[in-house]
Amino acid sequence: MESNQMGATGDKNDFPMVTGSEFLGPYKDVCAVRPQNYSYYAKHDIEWGDLNNYEINHKLGRGKYSEVYQGCNNFNNEKCVIKILKPVRTEKIYRETKILQVLYGGPNIVRMYDVVREESSKTPCLIFEYIPNIETKQITRTFNHLDIRLYIYKILEALDYAHSHGIMHRDIKPLNIVINHEERDLRVIDWGLADFYKPDAEYNVRVASRYYKGPELLVEDRKYHYSLDIWSLGCTFAGMLFDIDTFFKGSDNYDQMARIVRVMGTDDLKEYLRRYKLNLPKQIGKLIKPTEKTPFEAFINNRNQHRSSPEALDLLSKMLVYDKNERITCRDAMKHEYFAPIRKLA
């Protein structure tokens, strides 16, 4: 990979090499201490249900790997969501279904009720619970500061449950958060990119949606871990706090990193790159120049000031950190003073 002057330079002892497993606390060895088949999905046995039990009503949306419909369970007439997978590697289907089975019943995590397939084409379909909702980006416009605290806390509950079961979501964004505001109910959905975390394993960096990609993905650091979800949630949190659709909005992956640097500055970026002996792709190096960190207070204005607080900005500063190993964990985030009003209601 080509690099620029902001790559890994200087004395190799300036920053000791660290591994993610040193920083993961309660999530460190979840998969390592369980039987091998816990996180093994290459030959996961699927108990196929009966497609005739369900009826498709209308289309809800589509993604890169699937099309999603509202449907009906023919036995009890209850609404459901039917996710029809596009042709993908069998292993990916095994991985998603196994992860959803492991996470079934977890707080604020969408429940998968069944797995069926059309006999002639063998197209797999996942059947999920139905949650009445309005598009998250639209409904968050109406939120007050207590709403934001509540829903960010609920997302953290879901992610803490996933991480404590050795699972990274890897695609946290508003579109993958379903909110029924009338009931104050929330689900984290679309676990299609999720994977089991194994200490020091290397993972595909082509995950997460561009605006929510952590710096580790953009500099192709393949040894990332659960804290990728914290960065993505931090981007979502910032959008809610500052009442903007997207906090970092790059035109491509190179520009995405440049947009992050304009806010987060170059000093911490240099330290991050040196610490892990990483190099910036040359295309990114051309887009950035020495920049001081912009305080989050600079994004507060008359329109959004009612949503923010010193505690909110402090929590955000612990989520949006270049170094994957210095971000706050879900469990510690849930203990943050920002959520004191929510804990009192519990």
The residues assigned a catalytic role are: 171
Are 50 and 116 in contact by the 8 Å Cβ rule? The answer is yes
DSSP labels for 47-78? ----GGGEEEEEEEEE-SSEEEEEEEETTT--
Quick one: CA dihedral 296, 300, 304, 308, positive or negative? positive
Task: Provide the pairing of β-strand 54-62 with 66-73.
Answer: antiparallel
Four-CA torsion 19, 159, 126, 33, nearest 10 degrees: 50
Q: Is 16 exposed, middle or buried (0-12, 13-18, 19+ CB in 10 A)?
A: exposed
The tokens of 331 are what? 């469990």
Question: Look-up: residue for tokens 């404590």?
Answer: 164
The span from the CA of 61 to the CA of 68, in Å, is 5
| Chain centroid, CA 121 distance in Å | 32
Q: Name the DSSP class of 306.
A: G
Tell me, what amino acid is at 5? Q
Q: How far apart are CA 308 and CA 242, in angstroms?
A: 8
Residue 177 pairs with which residues in a beta bridge?
188
Q: Measured on CA atoms in the order 138, 149, 167, 108, is the torsion positive or negative? A: negative
- In degrees and rounded to multiples of 5, residue 141 shows phi and psi of -60, -25
Backbone CA torsion sign across 76, 81, 84, 85: negative
